[in-house]
Structure 1
Amino acid sequence: MALSGVVIGCGWPAPGRAQAESAPAGNVSPFPVASDVRIAGDDKQTRFILDLDKKIPLRAFALADPYRVVVDIPQVSFQLEAGGGTVARGLIKAFRYGLVMPGGSRIVFDLSGPAKIKSAYALDPANGQPARLVIDLEAVDRAAFSQALAVESNAELRPAIEVTGSAPAGTAASANDPRPVVVLDPGHGGIDNGTQSGGESEKGLVLSFGLALRDRLEKAGKYRVVMTRSDDTFIALNDRVKMARGLSAALFVSIHADALPRGEGEAHGATVYTLSDKASDAEAQRLADSENKADAIGGVNLTEEPTDVADILIELTQRETRTFSNRFARLVAAEMKTTARMHKHPLKSAGFRVLKAPDVPSVLIELGYVSNKDDLQQLLSENWRSRTVGAVAQAIDGFFTKKLVSAVPETRPGN
């Protein structure tokens, strides 16, 4: 649950199509610019100051398990020094920032322990100082923190669903469209960079792949294609699942790129994951644990998210869904091995939250390891991307062809 929020100002900009967080060199940013950050204080009281070129409204609230403070602001062009968010001081262990919805940015502080927001405010420029956003934190004990907890029903900013290639879901045009809905889910986004290596972030690599796959599928015209995100926007894991279920999707494809932590050896190649209650191996468990932390990274209140949908399922429906998921995973692995390096164990399973739609066949594709220089080179190659997109598209075609064939009832003699 969220600690009662502090709201300063009003007048959030109307949501529109998200734009890049940083303005191109030489261009004037259409959004307020954040240029510098300072942290002062100790483990009793800590102050965070963000320099801006204009005053902006803000809303701040705290979350527990893990302890975090979240600051929601209008969309900002962050032009801060690289690595600045990793500096720990006082109550702040680290902080991160980024787009969380079209028109809205977010700053998330990881705290060293329970703390309350003593004050949160914005200042106009004055006396040669720029406009500033100021957050004052004060340490409290767990009991005091828990007593102050209150439900913050609108703590998370939800982006709108975008349907590409056809009218939005729910309209008459899409309701009468017999084509199956394929949901493409580029992982991470906005405030959540995913894995990073060599100056490249997972969120950008998988978005490029997802957009290319969308274009390939739409060109064929066989499917209605929906992107969970088509730009650099953060979307909570549960929202991704809800999107697929709300559209009665016939297939959900989540796209990621892995990285091994330093000192944990070397790995390479693509892997295709399906959902299971028990991970197929320790590496699959590590990855699922990492991916399932995305909501915490983005400042989502995990205590309000459902952790298990099994109690609302009809067992046969869930079993059939997993059968179709496994079938598609095998098709993807078989097609991808013709264009991409594959992991030595290309088919794995684990408890990924994003795959938990009980009635939508779902897989998660790890395109490779950004921590491996050869894999990263492939991920950056337009030629590799084009060929691998073609392989995944071929697997999707094969999946629906086999599904339609298996759905045709057998003709008995004499009928």
Structure 2
Amino acid sequence: MLLRRWLVRAVFALAMMAAAVPAAVSQAAIPVPQPKPASEGPAVPRAKPVTGGEAASIAVQDARLGVSGGRTRFVLDLSGPVPYRVFQLADPYRVVIDMPEIVFLLQTGAGEQTGGLLKRFRYGLFRPGNSRVVLDLDGPAEVASAFALPPKEGNGHRLVLDLKPTDRETFMKAAGWPSDPPFATPGQDVPLGMEPIRRLVVLDAGHGGVDPGAVSPRVGYEKHIVLDFARALRTALARRDVEVVMTRDEDVFIPLADRVRIAREARASLMLSIHADVIEDPDIRGASVYTISEQASDAEAAALASSENRSDVIAGVDLREEGDEVASILIDLARRETKNASVDFARHLVPALEPVTPLLSKPHREAGFRVLKAPDVPSVLIELGFLSNHQDAEQLVQEAWMTDTAEVMADAVSVWLETRPQ
């Protein structure tokens, strides 16, 4: 692990000058490997091969809607050709267009166009390297055709979708996440002598056993809901070749300290703690993502530095032989690196969740949750929604919502692991 090797070198260097450690130590910037070109996406109609890097300079210049004979046509005017894929999702009815990362130059309010089968559409950067357009439908519809047009008769490049009404049964047969991999995103070269990132994630389903967590008279205990979601997320991650360790896979009570210990002993690259919330105001709904607060992180670092047993405190580096000052510096550097990584993942996850589930107005938050305090495992706590809100509570137990949310979350994890050196 990069953090571990870096800390080993730091231990040696600091030990050599322990007698003269300055009062303030500046943290040198860790070199970030340069990205390599992204590979092409799946085979789809296009005028010419376009790499993800080339697509990043292409813009959506306009979006148009037309209705004729019961059909609805949706057109994106583009500055150049882009590969794309189209698929349908249920509950609510949606059509999704995925493309490599592009620029949207649409006027404010463009997504509020409505007519025919379309209620509105949403668009934006789904994750680094990928853009997404989501068509919210007024009812079940199928994609009658999807095609790209080259410039002709004064028109530029266009991506065209024709929608026609259908029944729910037909829609559901076609709905679902595509089995082909998402478009490749700009990766990172692994410097000589550096291990590639370990694709191991710890999933922590909150509460369990004698601790039921939040309770909803409509849908039951939080402990059961979050375990079901963690299992769905494990399945989605496995399809992306991500190894998963569960802190619990049954209805048992696991102390908070043991949950952190499991993640650290597994040498996890990431820990996701899954929860659902309750609040007095039943109108408040939406998901949120927590990372550790600066105050809690500082306090944890101080506690670790003063611990009598410093073995394996950070990234497997034994600090028992180090003096208080050296250990304190190393622990502070490690927990800052871990906190920054946690925040970085949260910033990847929040926009990924937006198309599939409501979010709080400020979805990325900070708190001192115990499960976020591993000094060497990036960690986030995800509140899936509020059991005190009728809509959230009903949504949290819907299989379609669970699948959709687990899929986008797994995508966010996989991309983050690919683009972050270990």
Specify the TM-score bucket, using the shorter chain as the normaliser.
0.3 to 0.5
Structure with the larger RCO, 1 or 2 (CA within 8 Å, 6+ apart)? 2
Q: Whose radius of gyration is greater, 1 or 2? A: 2
TM-score (norm 1): 0.46
